[in-house]
A and B are shown apart, each in its own frame.
Chain A
Amino acid sequence: MEKIGLYTKKVIEHFKNPHNMGRIKNPDGVGKVGNIVCGDVMWLYIKIGKDKKGREIIKDIKFETYGCVAAISTSSIITDLAKGKTIEEALKIDKKEIVKALGGLPPLKLHCSVLATDALYEAIYDYLKKKKRKIPEKLEKIHQRIEKEEKLIEEKYKDWLKLENEIRSKTRH
């Protein structure tokens, strides 16, 4: 695929004009992943609705991201990929699909695609948890991994994160 500097044209397109950017008021689920200490933070909001067959789908999805070009463009593309999908389908979106949809990512930035899927999984997890639904085993495992990673970073950067929490509480809606 054609490249503009480090990134593919597709990545730059999403970076320049991100899709579904912003916040959803009263979201049904929110996924907050990444860490400002590491330089990437992704917040994903979902609103759940029903399709004609009565299946639950991701009716609306929006994101807010602090981070590099890859972080912003993976956020944008995952909202495209997840919108209108059933929860089951959305949980099948993986990092490979994101990288493919963007025409590739530089090797050093591949972790951004993981961040994007993590944000989506976490938003769905949040929704199911709130609804007191059964969490699929795969999703539970992912959630545990994300929590574990967060803890590791928290321990490493204890003092710095205190400040981040202050910011988070200030910007919480």
Chain B
Amino acid sequence: MPRKIYLDFAATTPIDPRVKRSMEPFFSKKFGNTMSLHSFGQEAKEALEEAREIVADFMGAKPGEVIFTSSATEANNFALKGIAFANKDRGNHIIISSIEHPCVMESAKWLESQGFEITKLKVNRQGIVDLKELEKSIKKETILVSIMHANNEIGTIEPIEKISKIIKTQNSKLKTQIYFHTDAAQTFGKIPVNVQRLGVDLMTVSAHKMYGPKGVGALYIKEGTKITPLLHGGGHEMGFRSSTVNVPGIVGFAKACQIAQKEMEKEAKKLKKLKEKLIKGVLSKVKDSHLVGSLKNSLPNIANFWFEGVEGESIVIQLDLLGIAVSTGSACSSEKLQASHVLLACGLKPWQAHGSLRVSLGRWTKESDIDYFLKVLPQVIENLRKISPFKKTWKK
């Protein structure tokens, strides 16, 4: 077997063995429906509420403010559509950034078709939203601002606290209540995420990005927020999300939070060092390579590059054949043929964006993995450049 190296942790992570162990009893033994009155049901209900407390505590929320969902995509859909429809009597204007995850972009696009007005904020070269534009964009009809905590393709961390302050100032100025939502799927469990400190009203998190199981996410909804559910039915999740509850998944999510709470700081330090090594290595070993995004305001585990004269998918498959898993932009967009909307928004030209590669590190990344990656990458790029008609480099 050739060596296999996974450097795509931003797409998804393996389940931590400790998380898996915590989930096991809830498949066949403690399998009850949380809505059942008997002991099986109540046992499951107890586990659910305990998990809710743990997840809430980890994000600085009250347990009653955490609604479990099936994914971050569902949570983002819930936040946007739920706020839009519950508050449409006050206004129809929603502000997002131009580098949101497709599930926010597409939800906003759909809302546009339902009569809502969407403003997409520009970002700078590093991918940071334009705060002045935000301030100017807010008006009386604005009901929601949704800006991601960190971008999934380039790792840039947005100034959420500053954005929150701007919104609060506008709220008192315009005597209105603009809700602020952030998609924290990439940051939760990686860097400190606290709803109080961030000053958000709604926040999306995901389990499978932080060594928990797939199929579990959550939406933090600040007490008193006016929101309408997406799923109607038996009244699970305090009436905010009907559906039989995924107890094993949620128990696993809670365990993943507990592990992150203890190990996150040390892990981030380790990953930051590895990422620095990776960036230095790529930029020095591969001619005409560029870093995308910010060095300073960036997640410790995501780096994005683009290489002149070669196309991203070809790089990914060449590396895959050598046992290394990385991706072009986000995993979700790799089947589309357009260049990444995130990279284009950061000012990259289409042919630059087509040559992009995302490398994301995680809990089990070793220094030797980075060494191996740096050993094989220059040859891969060189081989593809030999095939390419664009032999000479070009400047921006």
By a CB distance below 8 angstroms, the chain B residues around A15 are 314, 317-318
Interface check A144, CB cutoff 8 A: no
For B394, give its contact among A40, A41, A69, A167 (CB under 8 Å): A167
User: In the bound complex, what is the Cα–Cα distance between A19 and B339 (angstroms)?
Assistant: 28
Number of interface residues of A (CB under 8 A): 34
- The answer to whether B392 touches A170 (Cβ under 8 A) is yes
- The answer to whether B387 touches A18 (Cβ under 8 A) is yes
Interface check B321, CB cutoff 8 A: yes
Interface check B349, CB cutoff 8 A: yes
Q: What is the CB-to-nearest-CB distance from A147 to chain B, in angstroms, rounded to a whole number? A: 19
- The answer to whether A69 touches B387 (Cβ under 8 A) is no
Restricting to A45-85, which residues have a CB under 8 Å from any CB of B?
A: 64-69, 71-72
- The answer to whether B391 touches A69 (Cβ under 8 A) is no
Interface check B313, CB cutoff 8 A: yes
Q: Contacts A64-B388, A65-B387 hold; do A72 and B314 have CB atoms under 8 A apart?
A: yes
User: In the bound complex, what is the Cα–Cα distance between A16 and B380 (angstroms)?
Assistant: 10
By a CB distance below 8 angstroms, the chain A residues around B309 are 66
- The answer to whether B387 touches A68 (Cβ under 8 A) is no
In the complex, per-residue mask of B371-393: 1 if CB is within 8 Å of any chain A CB, else 0? 00000000000000011111110
In the complex, per-residue mask of B310-328: 1 if CB is within 8 Å of any chain A CB, else 0? 1101100110110000000
Restricting to B341-356, which residues have a CB under 8 Å from any CB of A?
A: 349-351, 354
By a CB distance below 8 angstroms, the chain B residues around A157 are 350
- The answer to whether A68 touches B313 (Cβ under 8 A) is yes
Residue of A nearest to B353 (CB): A39
Residue of B nearest to A69 (CB): B317
Restricting to A155-171, which residues have a CB under 8 Å from any CB of B?
A: 157, 160, 163-164, 166-167, 170-171
User: In the bound complex, what is the Cα–Cα distance between A18 and B310 (angstroms)?
Assistant: 15
User: In the bound complex, what is the Cα–Cα distance between A54 and B317 (angstroms)?
Assistant: 44
- The answer to whether B392 touches A66 (Cβ under 8 A) is no
User: In the bound complex, what is the Cα–Cα distance between A7 and B392 (angstroms)?
Assistant: 30
User: In the bound complex, what is the Cα–Cα distance between A151 and B188 (angstroms)?
Assistant: 47
User: In the bound complex, what is the Cα–Cα distance between A152 and B73 (angstroms)?
Assistant: 35
Q: Contacts A108-B335, A163-B349, A171-B392 hold; do A39 and B317 have CB atoms under 8 A apart?
A: no
Interface check B337, CB cutoff 8 A: yes
Interface check A98, CB cutoff 8 A: no
By a CB distance below 8 angstroms, the chain B residues around A7 are 317
Instruction: Please list the residues of chain B having a beta carbon within 8 angstroms of any beta carbon in chain A.
Output: 309-311, 313-314, 317-318, 320-321, 335, 337, 339, 349-351, 354, 386-392, 394
Rank and list the top 7 A-B pairs by shortest CB-CB distance, nearest first.
Answer: A64-B389, A68-B313, A36-B351, A39-B354, A66-B388, A43-B389, A37-B350
